[in-house]
Amino acid sequence: MIRSITQQKPEEEIDQLLNGLGRVFMIGCGTCATLTHTGGEPEVKAMKENLSGKGKLVTGEMVLPVACDNLTAEALKEHGAQIGQSDVLLIMTCAFGVQTIARQLEKMVVPALDTLFIGKETGLGRFDEICTQCGTCILGETGGICPVTSCHKGLVNGPCGGTSNGKCEIDSEKDCAWTLIYNRLKELNRLDAMRKLQKPRNHQGEPSPGKFKLSA
């Protein structure tokens, strides 16, 4: 399942964003942020204790089942009174959740998390970005591995000169995407695919910010 991968902002940044705002309502998310241990029940509880220790009044807290879902509007209503008493909402969800909530309420929102990427859990506690939704998919020519996302330079015509023991020049913990592609195509006996000169990418596939409407 695709997940929105988040990490908590530095404490000082959160303190600064909440500066002068004494009454805080807190919102976590039961989906991605729970999985990444950034905005589930335990993290919301810990944040509450931390804020209380700093003299903030926490008017209430909740963990939405799926913060980015439209049902969030209904769930927020149940806490209308506590939300109404707050100066600010401290939101421990990804930015999809923050924006979904911000649209529902006439309140300032403060994100407690940074949204890193849309990724996949590829091992226990390990998350990888595997698609950047570029709008012009070339997976059919790369053995199903995306160089646009997985190569730090987004190269589409093969590796740069920095591959070292199958790892990327900038991070020895990260596989070189083109080494993976080479190995996969070799297994599939399709190395000829690497000879194809890929044209400059079409960034107009869906220019950012994306907007899409189903035709009737």
**How many other β-carbons are positioned within 10 Å of the β-carbon of residue 111?**
24
Residue closer to another protein by CB (options 51, 185) is: 185
Q: Are 143 and 193 in contact (CB under 8 A)?
A: yes
Q: CB 172 → another protein: shortest distance, Å? A: 10
Residue closer to another protein by CB (options 126, 195) is: 195
Q: Are 54 and 76 in contact (CB under 8 A)?
A: no
Q: CB 147 → another protein: shortest distance, Å? A: 10
Q: What is the amino acid identity at position 137?
A: C
Residue closer to another protein by CB (options 30, 158) is: 158
Residue closer to another protein by CB (options 65, 162) is: 162
Q: CB 158 → another protein: shortest distance, Å? A: 5
Residues that bind another protein (CB under 8 A): 152-166, 169-170, 178-179, 182-183, 191, 194-195, 197-201, 203
Q: Are 151 and 39 in contact (CB under 8 A)?
A: no
Q: Are 27 and 67 in contact (CB under 8 A)?
A: yes
Q: Using the 8-state DSSP alphabet, how is residue 36 labeled?
A: T
Q: CB 68 → another protein: shortest distance, Å? A: 26
